[in-house]
Amino acid sequence: MKKVHNFNAGPCILPQEAIDASIEALKDFAGTGMSVITVSHRSKEWEAIMDECRSLWRELLDIPEDYEVLFLGGGASTQFLMVAMNLLETKAAYLETGVWAKKAIKEAKAFGEVEIVASSADKTFNYIPKDFTIPADADYFHITTNNTIYGTELHEDLDSPIPVVADMSSDIMSRPVDVKKYGIIYGGAQKNVGPGGVTFVIVRKDLLGKVSRHLPSMIDYNTHIKDGSMFNTPPVFPVYVMNETLKWVKRNGGVAAMQKRNQEKAAILYDEIDRNKMFVGTAAKEDRSLMNVCFVMAEEYKDKEADFMALAKERNMVGIKGHRSVGGFRASIYNAMPKESVQALVDCMQEFEKLNA
């Protein structure tokens, strides 16, 4: 198989060990003689996978007992409305830091008042707002911790007078998180913890059951808590791959080790962006994402963008084109991205600089 450097933003690179184990489970799951995609989700073999996966989440993030871990369908986009339907009674507060935050705000407005406490839209979301005040009278405060399109990230857990709800789709398991500072943490798995098709939700149970509106069964978090994420058929294969991915995280030192490795990889690439006269980083330096490194050609080399893309393709770089809404380049360097691939991209950038000196 051809060696490629996979910088896709999602679905994205996953540990090869997790992929290999999942391939074997497609052939014969847990000695059942059946594929994991054909086994009953009510079987004891599958229930063991669900239990193990929940336990790994709890262990890796030190999740307290008063929180539940759910595996659902629908992606983070469905969580935009589920959060609001389950928690928003009168008013919710949101931090607007990019496209996904805007989409979450749009969904919440259908269920009550939404206060945008701060926004970085004035500079095309290239920074994280600071010095804002979280309204104490809101039902919750929603943040998007990492912004894949613009390459910005909240690097610390916030203190808040009200429950914090966090979309951590693209930086979950990349650093230690103080779960006690959050009411809900959710996200699509397809960055650091699995393939597309499964959504994780970590929810503090005492926040639920307080809104006055009727909640359809599938939208009520309590439905899924009561039935162990199996009220309906769960996304079986994505959960299996997630379980294998979390086992890989544990074997490799847990989230603290992931953070160290991610900081090292990001430093290699950001240092080159800052050094190389042909490229310019787009995110404010103090808010640069460790997961999604966004950059553009320097103004005097704008006409060379297609040439660099061509060279990168020749060097087996995949997925470095920036999001269609902003252009430029984006290197997504999630947990499973090896340092060697980051160095290969840096080597490519240096080669391009020499060719155009």
Per the annotation, the verdict on 302 as an active-site residue is: no
Contact 177, 155 (CB under 8 A): no
Say how many CA atoms lie within 13 Å of 83 toward its Cβ: 39
Distance CA 209, CA 254 (A): 34
- Tell me the one-letter amino acid at 145: T
| Given 46, 100, 157, 248, the catalytic residue | 100
Per the annotation, the verdict on 191 as an active-site residue is: yes
| Given 46, 57, 171, 191, the catalytic residue | 191
| Given 139, 157, 167, 171, the catalytic residue | 167
Say how many CA atoms lie within 13 Å of 166 toward its Cβ: 27
Closest CA to 54 of 207, 196, 176, 230: 230
Closest CA to 98 of 264, 335, 300, 325: 325
Per the annotation, the verdict on 285 as an active-site residue is: no
Pairing between β-strand 292-297 and β-strand 329-332 as defined by DSSP bridges:
antiparallel
Distance CA 136, CA 163 (A): 10
| Catalytic (active-site) positions | 100, 167, 191
